[in-house]
Amino acid sequence: MVRQPLLFGWMPLLGRRALFALALFVICFLFAFPVLWLILTSLRPESGVYYVHRGTEFTLASFAEVLQEERLVQAFVNSALISTLATVFSLLVTVSSGYMLSRFKGPASSTWFGTIYVFRCVPYISWVIPLYFVAQSWGLYDTYLGLLLPHIAVHICFFSWLMKGFFDGIDPSMEHAALIDGCTRWGAFLRVALPSAIPAISALGVLCWLFTWNEFLFALILTGNKVPMITVVMAQFVTEMGLRWNLMAATAVLALVPAFLLALFGQKYVIRGLRI
């Protein structure tokens, strides 16, 4: 008599739902534990950051000290502004780019696809040094425009592929009917294709904003003192005297709030958009 392995013997008892619930609990725990530890660190006084799991002394002094620093407040505003502008301008180009790649076949479409394919295959970390010299020579270093343009370029290269996939999943018969009724190609795009792609555009908007908000490398290399970004300013608490963990954790918690709220309220759009 052949005995079944222990794992397969327990599977009928647990059931698929129980296994799914267990896996979901493990994943949530792995993600929630570092966030919980970060929040506890931000609420502890500076003398208690190395034993946050012990003691009952909590304070909001770290948050008050962080919000009193003008440079940090400016960094939050800059990060929000750059993220919003990068999202808006990227979607303006990406939506029409994805539509062109999906609906048109020809030299222009093939050239554009090959261009974004080449740029997307090159790791964007290899762009940093050339971008630094270009920004310096054009007078764009440590400016909003010098930081905004690389983010838009990265988003266009990546999200054009996604938008192409979304438009590929939309039946073009309604657009053909609109063309027969007298609409121009732009009219068919704006009145038929674009409304059908709203869930996908919303999903890409959320992902684009979060990517720019969390981006560190471009902000580190292309900015100085004039345009501080939150991901870079957060590192100012690393000094020759040590790390001020409570202030760094408080800044990180404040930076998590807008990203968490956007992900919370935008998750239905992301899920709906990715199902198209």
- What is the share, in percent, of the chain residues with pLDDT greater than 90? 11
Strand bridging mode 238-239 / 242-243:
antiparallel
Longest dimension (CA), the chain: 79
Residue 53 backbone dihedrals phi, psi, to 5 degrees: -85, -5
Q: How confident is the model at residue 10 (pLDDT cuts 50, 70, 90)?
A: very low
102: nearest Cα among 25, 29, 193, 16 = 193
Asked if the model's pLDDT at residue 18 lies above 80, the reply is no
Assess contact for 171 and 134: CB atoms under 8 A: no
259: nearest Cα among 83, 91, 94 = 83
Q: How confident is the model at residue 1 (pLDDT cuts 50, 70, 90)?
A: very low
Alpha-carbon distance 88 to 165, whole Å?
A: 20
Mean pLDDT value across the chain: 80
Alpha-carbon distance 93 to 90, whole Å?
A: 5
Strand partners, 238: 243
62: nearest Cα among 255, 253, 211 = 253
Alpha-carbon distance 97 to 73, whole Å?
A: 36
